[in-house]
Amino acid sequence: ATPMSIMTATGRGAQAGVLIKNAEALERFEKIDTLIVDKTGTLTEGKPRLVAVEPAKGQDEAEVLALAAALERGSEHPLADAIVEGAKHRGLALRSASDFEAVTGKGVTGKVDGRSVALGNRAMMEALGVDAGALVNRANTRRDKGETVMFIAVEGSLAGLVSVADPVKETTPGALRALHALGFRIIMATGDNERTAKAVAARLGIDEIRADVLPADKARIIRELQGEGRKVAMAGDGVNDAPALAQADVGIAMGTGADVAIESAGITLVKGNLDGIVRARKLARATMRNIR
C-alpha cells in the first residue's frame, strides 16, 4: 500500500471515529475472515442492572442482597456496580466486608459481620463445595432470558441468587447483519454462562459461541483458529480482553472500554459500537483495491 492511500484511509476512518493505528493494521484487516466478539460491553451496553433477588428457602431477600452488596463494594467488575446500585435503590444500608478477594472469572469472597460470604457463578460455588442445586431451575429460567445469575453462599450454604440484565446496544443487531453480509464468521466469546450466552446469541443471529471462558482462554481460542489458518480479529472492551486483543491478527477496542484494551488494539472504535468495524472493513478493501 502506498503511504498516501493509507493516510487517506486512516484520515477518513478518524473522521468517522475509527482510529487505525498504522498501515499494518489496515492491511491485515482486509484479510480477516473471523471475528471474535466479547459479549459484555461490546455487544451489550456493559451496564448491567439488578433485576431480581431470589432467596433460598428460609432466607430473607433483603438480607441476601445486603450481603451481596457488602462484598461487591470491593469489586470493580460491572456486575458489582449493578448489585451495589440495586441495593441502594432498594434503600438498603451498605455494610462493609473484610478479607475481600476477587477470583477471576468466578466471583468474590469475604467476611460480612463475621460470617464468610461468597458470590459468583456455579464454578465459584463448586470450588467452595456449595450445592447450588436448589436454585438451578430458577437460575436457568433467568439465563434463558439472557440474564446473568450469581449465587450467594453464607457460611458454606446456599442463601440465594441475584440476577442482572445487560441490554444489547441499539447498534449491535444492524452491525452484525452488515458484518455477516461482508462474509465474516462471527463467534461470541464470554466469561458468562452458556445458557445466558446462547440466549443473547440467538437474539442476535450469532450461531457460534464460546461460553464460560476465562480471560486466558480467549487468547487460546484465537491461537487455535489461527492454527487452522484463520485470520482473526477480536473486538473487546475489558481489561480481561487485552491478551486476546494482542493475540489477534487485528485487535479492535471499544473507545468506551479500558485503557489497556485500547493500547493492545490495532483499531479503536471511538463511539464504542460495532458499526465502526463495517466502516473499517470498507476502508481496508477500498485502499487495498486501489493499490493492487
Name the residues annotated as catalytic.
Answer: 38
Nearer to ligand ADP, 10 or 190 (CB): 190
Nearer to ligand ADP, 240 or 273 (CB): 240
DSSP assigned state of 191: S
Whether residue 134 contacts residue 17, with contact meaning beta carbons closer than 8 Å, is answered with no
How far is residue 219's CA from residue 208's CA, in Å, rounded to a whole number?
17
CB of 8 to ligand ADP, least distance (A): 36
Nearer to Mg ion, 92 or 239 (CB): 239
| CA-based end-to-end distance of the chain | 8
Q: Which chain residues interact with ligand ADP by CB under 6 A?
A: 40, 72, 75, 77, 79-80, 105-108, 119-121, 148, 150, 190-192, 238, 240
Phi, psi of 25 (to 5 degrees): -60, -40
The one segment of 122-130, 145-153, 171-179, 233-241 that binds Mg ion by CB under 5 A: 233-241
Q: Nearest CA to 116 among 81, 59, 71?
A: 71
Q: Is 196 in the site for Mg ion (CB under 5 A)?
A: no
Nearer to ligand ADP, 7 or 202 (CB): 202
How far is residue 186's CA from residue 207's CA, in Å, rounded to a whole number?
8
How far is residue 83's CA from residue 53's CA, in Å, rounded to a whole number?
10
Partner from Mg ion, ligand ADP, none contacting 219, C-beta within 5 to 8 A by type: none
Q: Which three cell numbers stand for residue 92?
A: 438498603
CB of 192 to ligand ADP, least distance (A): 4
Q: Is 166 in the site for Mg ion (CB under 5 A)?
A: no
| Of positions 238, 243, 251, 276, contacts Mg ion by CB under 5 A | 238
Whether residue 273 contacts residue 175, with contact meaning beta carbons closer than 8 Å, is answered with yes
Partner from Mg ion, ligand ADP, none contacting 107, C-beta within 5 to 8 A by type: ligand ADP
